[in-house]
Amino acid sequence: MTDNNTTAAGEPGDAGDGIVQRGLWFEEYREGARYLHRPGRTVTETDDVLFTTLTMNTQPLHLDAHWSSQQPGFGGKRLVNSMWTLSTVVGLSVSQLTLGTIVANLGFTEVSFPAPMFHGDTLYAETVCRSKRASKSRPGQGIVELEHIGRNQKGDIVCRAVRATLVQCDPEGGER
């Protein structure tokens, strides 16, 4: 039997009466809505070292425990690579917001890391829809501006970034 149906993520297979997990269509975003992404993600030393070496970041604050232990301000601990933090904050949002519905990341602005992350910290993410508008040049798509916020287990903001995304409109034509 040949099945030409696809899921929202573009994978082959008949969803039948099942509900396929997907992100939001353009029409489903609400300006000002705050999306809480759970569960959180606890960062391990392995996560940090792997990410840091894969990205060729040789900063000793991430890799050299002895050197880091002698630096002021961090209690002798190594810092988690801030790009891991940003990537994971965005990653935590995918299943709820953009899974199978995003066309492209258009850019990031206002990126900041107000507090450090350390091995053993747990990262929680939330996203606020700042604005949305229909694309003028790409019918059937819209631009959604999202503010991603990452907090550690104490509630301290460890990452903030604004991201512009290009998102598919609902293929069935509108509000549900």
Pair 129, 144: CB distance under 8 Å: yes
Task: Name the CATH superfamily, with its identifier, for domain 26-43+81-168.
Answer: Hotdog Thioesterase (3.10.129.10)
Residues 6+ apart with CB under 8 A from 72: none
The pTM assigned to this predicted structure is 0.86
What type of residue is 78?
A: R
Torsion sign, CA atoms 163, 167, 173, 176: negative
Q: Where are the beta strands (DSSP E) in the chain?
A: 34-42, 102-112, 122-134, 141-151, 157-168
* Sheet with 34-42, side-by-side order of all strands: 34-42, 122-134, 141-151, 157-168, 102-112
Residue 134 is encoded by which pair of tokens? Answer: 């229909």
Based on the number of CB atoms within 10 Å of its own CB, is 152 exposed (0-12), middle (13-18) or buried (19 or more)?
buried
Instruction: Give the other-Cβ count within 10 Å of 32's Cβ.
Output: 8
Cα–Cα distances (Å) from 152 to 41, 113, 116, 120, 155, in that order, read 10, 12, 9, 10, 5
Q: How many Å apart are CA 120 and CA 40, to the nearest integer?
A: 12
Pair 128, 121: CB distance under 8 Å: no
Per-residue pLDDT of the chain (176 residues; tens, 9 = 90+): 333 444 555 556 666 778 888 999 999 999 999 999 999 999 999 999 999 999 999 999 999 999 999 999 889 999 999 999 999 999 999 999 999 999 999 999 999 999 999 999 999 999 999 999 999 999 999 999 999 999 999 999 999 999 999 999 999 875 44
